[in-house]
């Protein structure tokens, strides 16, 4: 068991705000590993708004694909990391035609070996809606669900956030 945390929730559920407050309570200047990529103007605006809201409370590292490298390179900077979010990371891996399963397993291996750091993982729960109507969307939903199960087994704490209310599922 590790001191790592998995925070799940739907879109605009309050999970990121909850995770940010948790990270700030755990230590000075946590490292914020942002996985979002600006594929269009709307996403660029969202990313800019997220950066502005964090101001200088976090050390922000953009890491759309190489989470393990970013974690490794910043271990001496802070012992508290916030990864936001895993579902964007999974999307990026799929778009780059990289193996999601191998990447998630490598992340789990790194998390298991690095228990001195506190890692907060944020992800969208996407398995509670309708079955997607296309193959890629179904594969994405399956990758996210399987990844969440694997990470939930590893993490000491799992929290589900709905309407800004955090519900502890584990820990």
Q: How does pLDDT run across 42-63, given as a tens digit for each residue?
A: 766 766 666 666 678 899 999 9
pLDDT at 38: 66
Q: What is the pTM of this model?
A: 0.91
User: Cβ of 97: how many Cβ atoms within 10 Å?
Assistant: 6
* Active site residues per annotation: 50
- We find that the CATH architecture of domain 5-170 is 3-Layer(aba) Sandwich (3.40)
Please give the average per-residue pLDDT across 30-47, as a whole number.
78
pLDDT at 130: 86
DSSP codes, 55-119? TTSSEEEE-SS-HHHHHHHTTTT-SEEEEE-HHHHHHHHHHTT--HHHHHHHHHHHHHH-TTSEE
pLDDT at 69: 96
Q: What is the mean pLDDT of the chain?
A: 91
pLDDT at 65: 96
The burial of 38, by beta-carbon neighbours within 10 Å (0-12 exposed, 13-18 middle, 19 or more buried), is given as: middle
Q: pLDDT for 97-125, tens place per residue?
A: 999 999 999 999 999 999 889 999 999 99
pLDDT at 1: 43
Q: pLDDT for 86-102, tens place per residue?
A: 999 999 999 999 999 99
């Amino acid at each position: 068991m590790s001191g790592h945390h998995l925070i799940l929730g739907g879109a605009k559920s309050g999970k990121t705000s909850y995770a940010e407050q948790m990270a700030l309570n755990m230590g000075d200047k946590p490292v914020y590993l942002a996985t979002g990529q600006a594929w269009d103007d709307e996403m660029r605006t969202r990313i800019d708004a997220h950066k502005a809201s964090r101001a200088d409370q976090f050390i922000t590292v953009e890491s759309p694909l190489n989470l393990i490298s970013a974690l490794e390179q910043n271990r001496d900077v802070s012992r508290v990391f916030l990864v936001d979010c895993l579902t964007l990371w999974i999307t990026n891996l799929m778009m780059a035609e990289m193996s999601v399963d191998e990447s998630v397993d490598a992340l789990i291996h790194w998390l298991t070996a690095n228990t001195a750091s506190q890692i907060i993982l944020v992800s969208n729960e996407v398995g509670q809606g309708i079955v997607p109507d296309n193959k890629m969307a179904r594969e994405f939903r399956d990758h996210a669900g399987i990844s969440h199960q694997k990470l939930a087994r590893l993490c000491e704490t799992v929290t589900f956030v709905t309407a800004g209310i955090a519900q502890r599922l584990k820990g």
